[in-house]
Amino acid sequence: MPAVKETVKQVDDIGVDKYKFGWSTDLETETAPIGLTEETIKFISKKKNEPEWMLEWRLDAYQRFLSMKEPEWAKVNYPSINYNDMYFYSAPKDVDGPKSLDEVDPELLKTYDKLGIPLKEQEILSGVKSNIAVDAVFDSVSVVTTFKEKLSEEGIIFCSISEAIKDHPELVRKYLSSVVPKSDNYYSALNSAVFTDGSFVYIPPNTRCPMELSTYFRINAENTGQFERTLVIADKGSYVSYLEGCTAPQRDENQLHAAVVELVALENAEIKYSTVQNWYPGDENGVGGIYNFVTKRGDCRGKNSKISWTQVETGSAVTWKYPSCILRGDNSVGEFYSIAISNSYQQIDSGTKMVHLGKNTSSKIISKGISAGHSSNAYRGLVSSHRRAENARNFTQCDSLLIGNKCSAHTVPYIETKNSTSVFEHEATTSKISDDQIFYCGQRGINIEDAIALIVNGFCKEVLQELPMEFAVEAQKLVGISLEGSVG
Amino acid sequence: MLTEEKNINVEEQVIAYCKHNISNQDIKHPLYPARLGAYELFRVHGLPTSRDEQWKYTNITSKLERIPSQSDVKPVPVNLDNFINNFEIVKKAKENKDSVLVFMDGAMQSQLSIVNSDMETVSVTSLKKDPIPDWAIKLNSEKHSQNVNEMFNLNTVLMEDGAIININNNKGIADNIYIIHVGNNDGFYNYRHMINVQNGAHVNIIEFKISNKVDIEALYTSSIIWKIGDNCVVNNVKYQAHNQITIGFNQQYADIANDTEFNSFTISSGSKLLREFRDINCNGSNSNISISGINLLDGDSHIDTMLTVKHKAPNTISREKYKSILNDNSKGVFQGNIIVDDIAQKTIAKQSIDALILSKNAEHDAKPELEIYADDVQCGHGATTGQISQDSLFYLKSRGIPEEEAKRLLVHAFLTDALEEIKDKKILETFADVMNNMLNRVSKGNLNV
């Protein structure tokens, strides 16, 4: 019965394809003592050779964390997290910080190769043509940063945050937690206390970053949370495009990822921040997967500045993430483009905040939510204008697509207008893929899964085209893969 | 208008008031268990605060400092009859032999009310009269057992009077019932209406809530519970124009069965604080409902609408269309929620919320939510906030229309498509004058354009 065999093979293929980053790497690692205590924080700080002020800063954040409560307003359900049952620091042995590529453990390089990020190759090919500089973060530490020299010729600082704390303390002290205060929320306080690594970017005035900057996060160790901190500063008149990717191995347990990303755009500067989030989402029964509790915020501090967030959310068991823009400078612009895809038992509560403070500010939100399986997908957004924010303008569009009748889609927008010159528009729709569309594709010999991938890609097109080219191709594939098995 | 002890906060005052009230109730009364249960809940929760998600934009205690004191003697003023008869609408109603129920300060005034219709199709009694019909007691306890709304609980504890209306007509011609509330004295008033629309009935219920004088300091809670059967056509229009110091908390619950049309339209203006809580359940299939309204705010008014529409059966249609005009220092809040259960396939739900802000200090907050658990649905919402378009204004002015008149025209145009949701054209006509007067008041003056 070849036909049956073929079907079985196809089904197998789908299973394997579903999450292709589910393997783990065997590496000797060094971990902090289990649990969250002052000792753990001191251990992390010591491990990273941090100056005294940084340790005090962390301990202060820890004290604030202790007095805070876990937020419960999001439309997600998960068992409470036991912070004393996990590791807050795990690093491949002998990696204290990024080194040159030759010194990096080949096993690690292989890992990134397998993930489709050929660090080595890129450096070699740099003379020919390649335009992405990568900071690779493995569990708690940054293992390598490529193209550092080339970037420093332009005065651009691109390194791990631990290096920045040592080498550029004046910048770090000035900008760290100036956008997301330590006690902004429960998870930002936790992150401030225990963050282990992340990327730091500084673009000097009137510089256009010649290549895409990218950080690739990988969780590998078991029972370990990843807490990274990213700080991007675009000085006057500069431009940078930054990409972030993330994956994790397939495990039965839930792992915590609580990151903080801060962007600062000064006068006439522009930051474009793109994320393809592909953490392990758990299996089809909802076992395992990453809890992704992330605070991302950009501050358009100067006049005519612009921050644009683009995100493709396909992974994580639970997502709690609201990349926001504070439009402080006059004429500043905030943008948010998002695709959130949830399948099986994934839960997503994501959206954005556009806070209009300056005059003539404008913002645009395009959010596409797709839920399939038993998943729940919520858009939660805030658009607000303050008393003095004259001529604020916002356009919001939230579309949800439901595939199957076990999933749910929610839209929770908050629209607060305190200034009569504000013009805010919000529209949202919820619908399903129509039978006509499927029939049309079927007629042309496209099978149902491909047809869905095709239609969903069309549905997301407005967002996909905002992604840098390198990511757009990957994201398009990801959209198809994430929905596999959602019909049948 | 005397203050009680000043240092007791308003929440304690309200709880003490409830305690006093509950201890004076007859424990054998069929509504007593509901009252007592509601009292226990209210005592624990107290007044809602802005920490409660549903009250995020409304801070009761900043508006309500104390319970207005009331005199024990509440004379019906000689002029009340005249006052009511002066309303064009009431005059017409009487001519048409419609039913008119008059309430003063929350108490039914039988001598002023008329139940004109055939007694077999419409029966009216009041919460004060014994015996209360069994269906009303049942409906009341049903709503109470599933309720978590603090202001509804407060209303349950304190309700004194209200109309209990049973409609059982099958003639295909609507009965018209007017319910008129007049605020005439300072005080704290609580009333509840229960309306049972039996299968196949057609009815128009038009409510009026007005303050008799500008200086009456009234605080009230009111609830209206609808139970609507199969194949009904129900039109409900509520017009409320309180003075600028009245504080009111209105609750509306409606359960709608199969193949029914329910149109509810609210026109609100005035009030220091007005909360419109509405909870509409489409329990049966093939129903078609419209919940819409206009809010006209000026002065220091604050109107907060909290509307939930639950689709619990397949093939239902709902439309919600709200328009607000905000002037002076007013604040408008709209929280709308459409919930579609997993069995409610083929639901069509459309919600739109538009606000026109006419002054520098006005504020509008909107939170239109969708909560969808079924896939074969068409649901959407739109929310806009803005001011009068300079281009439109210029267009009209360049054609010789004076600025004031042009603004009035544009404001009127903005409201028109919401007004179209009043399906019964006769009712719409009766509101034409009232609307014009309100528009003139709200759209004139300090426009910031």
Is the pLDDT at A124 greater than 50? The verdict is no
Backbone angles phi, psi at A60, to 5 degrees: -65, -45
For range B401-425, the mean pLDDT = 86
Q: Is residue B307 part of a domain?
A: yes
- Does residue A91 surpass a pLDDT of 80? no
Does the beta-carbon distance from A417 to B364 stay under 8 Å? yes
What percent of chain A clears pLDDT 90, i.e. is strictly above it?
36
pLDDT tens-digit map of A428-464: 988 888 888 889 999 999 988 888 888 888 888 888 8
pLDDT (0 to 100) of residue A94: 59
Beta bridge partners of B277: B251, B306
| CA distance to A76, B40, B319, per residue, from B337 (Å) | 18, 28, 12
* Range among A79-88, A314-323, B109-118, B275-284 with highest mean pLDDT value: B275-284
Interface of B with A in 44-73 (CB under 8 A): 53, 57
Q: How confident is the model at residue A424 (pLDDT cuts 50, 70, 90)?
A: very high
What pLDDT shows up at residue B230? 94
Residue B442 has what pLDDT? Answer: 65
Q: What are the boundaries of each domain within chain A?
A: 2-321
Tally the C-alpha atoms within 13 A of residue A487's C-alpha that lie toward its C-beta: 17
Nearest by CB: B357 against A410, A413, A417: A417
Among the listed ranges A49-53, A117-121, B139-143, B202-206, which one has the minimum average pLDDT value?
A117-121
Q: How confident is the model at residue A488 (pLDDT cuts 50, 70, 90)?
A: very low
Which of residues B417 and A324 earns the better pLDDT score?
A324
Q: Is residue B66 part of a domain?
A: yes
Residue from B53, B327, B353, B370 whose CB has the most chain A CBs within 10 Å, to mutate: B370
Assigned domain for B5 exists = no
Asked if the structure places residue B351 within a domain, the reply is yes
A69 pLDDT higher than 60? yes
pLDDT of A3 higher than 70: no
Mean pLDDT value of segment B407-430: 84
Nearest-CA distance A434 → chain B (Å): 9
Stretch A288-302: mean pLDDT, rounded? Answer: 91
Question: Is B402 contained in some domain?
Answer: yes
Contact present, A337 and A466 (Cβ < 8 Å): yes
The chain-wide mean pLDDT, for chain A, equals: 83
Query: Distance from A381 to chain B by nearest Cα, in Å?
Result: 10
Using the Cβ of A410 and the Cβ atoms of chain B, whether some distance falls under 8 Å is answered with yes
CA B359 to chain CA centroid, Å, is: 26
Residues 368-427 (B) with a CB less than 8 A from some CB of A: 368-387
DSSP state, residue B388 = -
Instruction: Give the mutation candidate from B375, B443, B448 for the A interface (greatest A CB count, under 10 A).
Output: B375
Which of B5-14, B34-43, B209-218, B273-282 has the largest mean confidence?
A: B273-282
Chain B residues closer than 8 Å to A416 by CB: 57, 363-366
- pLDDT at B4 exceeding the cut of 60: no
pLDDT for position B236 = 94
pLDDT, position A284:
79
Asked if A342 has any chain B CB less than 8 Å from its own CB, the reply is no
Tell me if A415 and B342 make a contact (CB, 8 A cut-off): no
For the whole model, what pTM was predicted? 0.85
Q: What is the mean pLDDT of residues B139-149?
A: 81
Contacts of B364 in chain A (CB under 8 A): 415-417
Nearest Cα residue in chain B from A74 = B53
> Given CB atoms, is B325 within the 8 Å cutoff of chain A?
no
Residue-level pLDDT at A127: 38
Highest mean pLDDT among B67-81, B168-182, B189-203: B189-203
pLDDT of amino acid B347: 94
- Alpha-carbon gap: A29 to the closest alpha carbon of chain B (Å): 45
pLDDT tens, residue by residue, A207-256: 998 888 888 877 777 777 788 899 999 999 999 998 888 777 777 778 88
On whether residue B192 sits in a domain, the answer given is yes
Residue A122 burial (C-beta neighbours within 10 Å; 0-12, 13-18, 19+): middle
pLDDT at A363: 95
pLDDT digits (tens, 9 = 90+) for B317-334: 999 999 999 988 999 999
Q: Tell me the per-residue pLDDT of A383-421, one tens digit each, with 9 for 90 and over.
A: 999 988 999 999 999 999 888 888 899 999 999 999 888
Residue B327 zone, left/alpha/beta (φ > 0; ψ -120 to 50; rest): beta
Residue B136 has pLDDT above 80, yes or no: yes
A127 phi-psi bin (left φ>0, alpha ψ -120 to 50, beta other): alpha
**SS in 3 state form for chain A?**
CHHHHHHHHHHHHHHHHHCCCCCCCCCCEEECCCCCCHHHHHHHHHHCCCCHHHHHHHHHHHHHHHCCCCCCCCCCCCCCCCHHHCECCEEECCCCCCCCHHHCCHHHHHHHHHCCCCHHHHHHHCCCCCCEEEEEEECCEEEEECCHHHHHHCCCEEEEHHHHHHHCHHHHHHHCCCCCCCCCCHHHHHHHHHCCECEEEEECCCCECCCEEEEEEECCCCCECECEEEEEEECCCCEEEEEEEEECCCCCCEEEECCEEEEEECCCCEEEEEEEECCCCCCCCCCCEEEEEEEEEEEECCCCCEEEEEEEECCCCEEEECCEEEECCCCCEEEEEEEEEECCCCEEEECCEEEECCCCCEEEEEEEEEEECCCEEEEEEEEEECCCCCCCEEEEEEEEEEECCCCEEEEEEEEEECCCCCEEEEEEEEEECCHHHHHHHHHCCCCHHHHHHHHHHHHHHHHHCCCCHHHHHHHHHHHHHHCCCCCC
Give the CA count within 13 Å in the CB-facing half-sphere of A262. Answer: 22
Q: Is the pLDDT of residue A155 over 80?
A: yes
Note whether A425 contacts B366, CB cutoff 8 Å: no
* Nearest-CB residue to A420 (from B342, B360, B370): B360
A430 contact residues in B (CB cutoff 8 A): 370, 372, 377-380
Measured between beta carbons, the chain B residues lying within 8 angstroms of A409 are 370, 372
Q: Enumerate long-range contacts of B392-396, CB under 8 Å, 24 or more apart.
A: B393/B449
From residue B194, alpha-carbon distances to A276, A428, B231, B255 in Å are 55, 35, 19, 12
Question: What does the pLDDT average to over A52-64?
Answer: 91
User: What is d(CA A108, CA A120) in angstroms, rounded to the nearest whole number?
Assistant: 11
Q: Residue A179 pLDDT > 90, yes or no?
A: yes
Whether B15 is covered by a domain: the verdict is yes
Interface touch B372/A417, C-beta < 8 Å: no
Q: Is some CB atom of chain B closer than 8 A to the CB atom of A388?
A: no
Please report the pLDDT score of residue B164 as a whole number: 93
pLDDT at A76 over 90: no
Nearest Cα to Cα of residue B415 among B435, B393, B395: B435
Whether residue A300 is predicted with pLDDT greater than 70 in this model: the reply is yes
Cβ separation of B383 and A411 shorter than 8 Å? Answer: no
Least confident of A40-49, A146-155, B204-213, B439-448: B439-448
Partners of B370 on chain A (C-beta within 8 Å) are: 400, 409-411, 428, 430
Q: Does B357 touch chain A (CB under 8 A)?
A: yes
At residue A330, the pLDDT reads: 95
Question: Is pLDDT above 60 for A87?
Answer: yes
pLDDT, residue A15, reads 44
Summarised one tens digit per residue, pLDDT across range A6-43 is: 555 554 454 444 676 776 777 777 777 788 888 888 88
Pairing of strands B331-340, A270-277: unpaired
Asked if residue B50 is part of any domain, the answer here is yes
Put simply, whether B358 touches A (Cβ < 8 Å) is yes
pLDDT value for A50: 87
Contact call for B372 and A409, based on CB within 8 A: yes
Helix, strand, or coil (residue B421): coil
Q: How far is A353 from chain B (nearest CA, A)?
A: 14
Mutation pick from A69, A353, A420 vs chain B, by most beta carbons of B within 10 Å, is A420
**Chain A residue closest in CA terms to B384:** A425
Q: What is the pLDDT of residue B448?
A: 36
A406 interaction partners in chain B (CB closer than 8 Å): 342
Residue A78 scores a pLDDT above 80: yes
The per-residue pLDDT for A239 is 94
Q: How many distinct structural domains can be found in chain B?
A: 1
Q: Which domain holds residue B57?
A: 10-443
**CA B128 – CA A256 distance, rounded (Å):** 60
Residue A412: list chain B partners with CB under 8 A: 367, 369
- Residue B210 pLDDT more than 80? yes
**If you count residue pairs, one on A and one on B, with CB atoms under 8 Å apart, how many are there?**
113
Contact A242, A270 (CB under 8 A): no
Residue B380's SS3 state is strand
Instruction: Give the chain A residue nearest B327 (alpha carbons).
Output: A420
- Type and span of the H or E element at B163: strand B163-167
